[in-house]
């Protein structure tokens, strides 16, 4: 994606992020966001960000998009600086909880034009969020963004592993499979190619109606097609739901579907463990922050 200068976004980031805040959005991210939002800044957009942290990002979106409604989701209590702020709503809950995601959409009052996943950076949680939000609560033509998917290359993460360069020696006659890392969020992003190709290869569109996938350094932008996708396969739980209970994504006007009791029970049983895992990951990121920063500097 061709990026454009984003001086206004950069100024807002400088204003709202504290020095040394590792959740600060990179300059390259800001340029790409400016490109995606070009020509739409004054529209009454609906923005959802998974992961609130200090609240700086929500404040940046609010000021950059003067008529937008900004919704944030986080497992932790919202910081005081964003409480009572105009056009900002924070919902406390896990990024993979359908009830929480439905509440966010209801607070916005419409499908989202931009959804940003900057939450746990753990593959299965990121995938569950997209599995539910993309077909159900992302507007056609909207963008779904996965930030910092490179955690799949960090052994410090529960689903990450050390980075290794792709094997160039496999360019041989008879080679059918070209191996690469599938760990964590890296694997989640790579699977999106399969969704894009499903319609081409089978004639049946994926439930993720992806028009375009743009992968940049540590961030992926996924544009939703205007044409509807295939049937939604259903809720992700530890036990598959009966076929009769599987629902398709709602068509406009969108209305939140009730979550079946069996799914509510499953989510309740695992919510505490998911929340504790996200808190541990947050603490781990803070502890390892100096070492990770040093490693990045040494690689430049």
How many CB atoms within 10 Å of residue 11? 13
Q: Taking Cα atoms as reference points, which of 77, 143, 65 lies closest to residue 282? A: 77
DSSP state of 118: -
Beta strands in the chain (DSSP E): 46-50, 69-74, 88-92, 112-117, 138-147, 210-216, 219-224
Separation of alpha carbons 179 and 160, rounded Å: 16
pLDDT in tens, 136-191: 999 999 999 999 999 999 999 999 999 999 999 999 999 999 999 999 999 999 99
Cis before 95 (ω within 30): no
Region 203-229: mean pLDDT is: 97
> In the prediction, which pLDDT does 275 show?
55
pLDDT of 253 above 70: no
> In the prediction, which pLDDT does 281 show?
60
Separation of alpha carbons 286 and 288, rounded Å: 6
Among all chains, which residue has been given the structure tokens 């939002």? 37
Region 203-216: mean pLDDT is: 97
Separation of alpha carbons 75 and 276, rounded Å: 9
pLDDT of 20 above 50: yes
Instruction: Give SS3 for 282.
Output: helix
Instruction: Give 43's contacts (C-beta < 8 A, 6+ positions apart).
Output: 67, 68, 113
Quick one: what percent of the chain has pLDDT higher than 90?
75
Region 26-52: mean pLDDT is: 96
Region 222-236: mean pLDDT is: 95
Q: What is the pTM of this model?
A: 0.80
User: Are 148 and 218 contacting, i.e. CB atoms less than 8 angstroms apart?
Assistant: yes
pLDDT in tens, 67-97: 999 999 999 999 999 999 999 999 999 999 9
Instruction: Give SS3 for 269.
Output: helix
Q: Taking Cα atoms as reference points, which of 71, 69, 104, 73 lies closest to residue 87? A: 69
């Amino acid at each position: 994606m061709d990026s454009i200068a984003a001086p206004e976004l950069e100024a807002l980031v400088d204003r709202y992020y504290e020095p040394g805040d590792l959740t600060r959005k990179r300059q390259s991210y800001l340029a790409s966001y400016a490109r995606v939002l070009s020509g739409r800044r004054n529209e009454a957009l609906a923005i959802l960000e998974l992961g609130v942290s200090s609240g700086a990002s929500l404040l940046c979106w609010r000021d950059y998009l003067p008529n937008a409604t900004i919704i944030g989701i986080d497992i932790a209590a919202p910081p005081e600086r964003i409480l009572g702020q105009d056009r900002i709503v924070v919902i406390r809950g896990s990024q993979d909880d359908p009830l929480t995601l439905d509440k966010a959409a209801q607070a916005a009052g419409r499908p989202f034009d931009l959804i940003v996943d900057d939450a746990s950076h753990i593959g299965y949680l990121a995938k569950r969020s997209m599995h539910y939000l993309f077909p159900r609560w992302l507007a056609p033509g909207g963008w779904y963004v996965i930030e910092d998917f490179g955690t799949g290359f960090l052994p410090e993460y529960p689903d990450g592993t050390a980075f290794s360069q792709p094997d160039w020696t496999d360019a041989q006659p008879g080679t059918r499979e070209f191996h690469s890392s599938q760990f964590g969020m890296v694997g989640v992003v790579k699977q999106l190619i399969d969704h894009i190709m499903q319609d081409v290869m089978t004639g049946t569109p994926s439930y993720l109606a992806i028009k375009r996938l743009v992968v940049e350094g540590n961030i992926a932008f996924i544009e939703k097609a205007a044409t509807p996708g295939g049937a939604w396969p259903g809720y992700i739980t530890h036990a598959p739901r009966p076929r009769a209970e599987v629902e398709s994504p709602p068509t406009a006007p969108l209305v939140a579907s009730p979550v079946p009791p069996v799914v509510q029970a499953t989510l309740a049983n695992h919510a505490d463990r998911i929340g504790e895992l996200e808190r541990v990951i947050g603490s781990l990121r803070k502890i390892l922050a100096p070492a990770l920063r040093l490693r990045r500097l040494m690689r430049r």
